[in-house]
């Protein structure tokens, strides 16, 4: 059995990840590829419980907050993503580890070495084949965001650091990332994503 492809969608608030993830999944399904749509934080039942907890409570030490996201990710990976990939299913996830780097490391100041150590220890094999960065200036994204959560209230400087964090991640691994201007028409973004996903 050929393992499935693992595709992640990343970006700040209001970038259109959910819309584009749904369009991508539908287009792949229409071509006969089995697809699992999922999201982070969450995705699997216990990880969704952690999502509710993380989004309901703020004020964490940055490393504690990072560890909560990584715990949810480990559960998501073990319970849902890894078995799906092993079964030949393409997994499309709204957010994955790059969000932790952008929000907790770049945004909240958690040490990059702690991020690396946690992922190396708990998720050594969890590497997306393709990551789509839907890039949008944070001010424009926050205006478009449809489902407000506590991170949106963290202020313009925080969201600028998150934005820079995503761009730095993409620059460090250009072969994994497809960077797109999220302000382009929805159909143009979807077509560019599908082309790369079919080749991933």
Kindly state whether residue 69 participates in binding ligand TMP, applying the rule CB under 6 A. yes
Whichever of 20 and 100 has its CB closer to ligand TMP, that residue is 100
Stretch that binds ligand TMP, among 77-85, 97-105, 135-143, 190-198 (CB under 6 A): 97-105
Report how far residue 4's alpha carbon sits from residue 54's, in angstroms, rounded to the nearest whole number. 30
Whichever of 142 and 194 has its CB closer to ligand TMP, that residue is 142
Stretch that binds ligand TMP, among 75-83, 91-99, 131-139, 191-199 (CB under 6 A): 91-99
Q: Which of 45, 87, 111, 149 binds ligand TMP (CB under 6 A)?
A: 149
Tokens at residue 94, please? 């709204």
Work out the burial of residue 156: count CB atoms within 10 Å of its CB; fewer than 13 is exposed, 13-18 middle, 19 or more buried: exposed
Report how far residue 148's alpha carbon sits from residue 94's, in angstroms, rounded to the nearest whole number. 16
Asked if 11 and 141 count as a contact pair (C-beta separation under 8 A), the reply is: yes
H or E element in which residue 9 lies: strand 6-10
Kindly state whether residue 166 participates in binding ligand TMP, applying the rule CB under 6 A. no
Asked if 10 and 166 count as a contact pair (C-beta separation under 8 A), the reply is: yes
What length is written for the chain?
200
Kindly state whether residue 58 participates in binding ligand TMP, applying the rule CB under 6 A. no
CB of 145 to ligand TMP, least distance (A): 8
Residue ranges that bind ligand TMP, judged by CB under 6 A: 13, 39-41, 69, 94-95, 99-100, 103-104, 147, 149, 151
């Amino acid at each position: 059995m050929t393992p499935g492809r693992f595709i992640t969608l990343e970006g700040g608030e209001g970038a259109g990840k959910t819309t584009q993830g749904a369009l991508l999944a539908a287009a792949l399904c229409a071509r006969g590829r089995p697809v699992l749509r999922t999201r982070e934080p969450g995705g699997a039942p216990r990880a969704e419980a952690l999502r509710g907890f993380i989004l309901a409570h703020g004020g964490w030490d940055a490393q504690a907050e990072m560890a909560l996201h990584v715990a949810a990710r480990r559960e998501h990976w073990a319970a849902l993503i890894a078995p799906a990939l092993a079964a030949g299913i393409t997994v499309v996830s709204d957010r994955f580890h790059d969000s932790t780097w952008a929000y907790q490391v770049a945004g909240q100041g958690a040490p990059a070495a702690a991020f690396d150590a946690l992922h190396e220890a708990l998720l050594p094999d969890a590497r997306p084949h393709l990551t789509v960065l839907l890039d949008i200036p944070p001010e424009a994204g926050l205006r478009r965001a449809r489902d407000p959560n506590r991170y949106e209230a963290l202020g313009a400087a925080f969201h600028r650091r998150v934005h820079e964090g995503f761009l730095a991640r993409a620059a460090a691994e250009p072969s994994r990332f497809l960077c797109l201007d999220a302000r382009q028409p929805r159909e143009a973004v979807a077509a560019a994503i599908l082309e790369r996903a079919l080749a991933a």
